[in-house]
Amino acid sequence: MMNIPLRLSILILIISLKSCNTFKTGEEKQSKGESIVKNNDVNKTLIEEGYSIGRVKYISDSQCSYIIIDREINSEFDPINLEEKKYLPFRKDSMIIYYKYRRLRMPYRCDVIQPIELIDIKKEKH
């Protein structure tokens, strides 16, 4: 049978360790919160700079294999220059992106999906 001072020491040690972990978790939560706020500021700045926000969607067996669905106006766009080397990293299904574009006056390659030319793309920051 353990004596009372030894039990008390073990109990204090356990409480101390628990409180350190709780404090660390609080710091991590605060750090993540600050990071989200900073990233939201970056995202807001991109929109103010003329970028639109959208989601890349892959369509198999189509001339428009990758389209962009605009998050704000819910329109579908056919980026005709997504094949360019600088845009290849953005050819991922469900990737959220910020993009600048110009509409094109040309025949549609796919049903009712508006052809566009990409000017710039940036990946969404979480």
**pLDDT tens figures, 18-58:** 666 544 445 444 444 444 445 678 788 899 999 999 999 99
| Nearest alpha carbon to residue 82 among 125, 123, 116 | 116
Two tokens, residue 73: 């106006």
Specify the pLDDT at position 15.
77
β-pairing, 114-123 vs 96-103, is antiparallel
What local confidence, expressed as pLDDT, does residue 69 receive? 97
How high is the pLDDT of residue 8? 77
pLDDT of residue 79: 96
- In this predicted model, which residue has the larger pLDDT, 7 or 93? 93
DSSP tag of 80: T
At 96 the pLDDT is 95
Tell me what the pLDDT averaged over the chain comes to.
82
* Tokens 């509409």 sit on residue: 103
Task: Output the pLDDT for position 36.
Answer: 41
Res. 126 pLDDT band, cuts 50 70 90: low
Q: Is the pLDDT of residue 75 over 70?
A: yes
Q: Cβ distance 97 to 123 under 8 Å?
A: yes
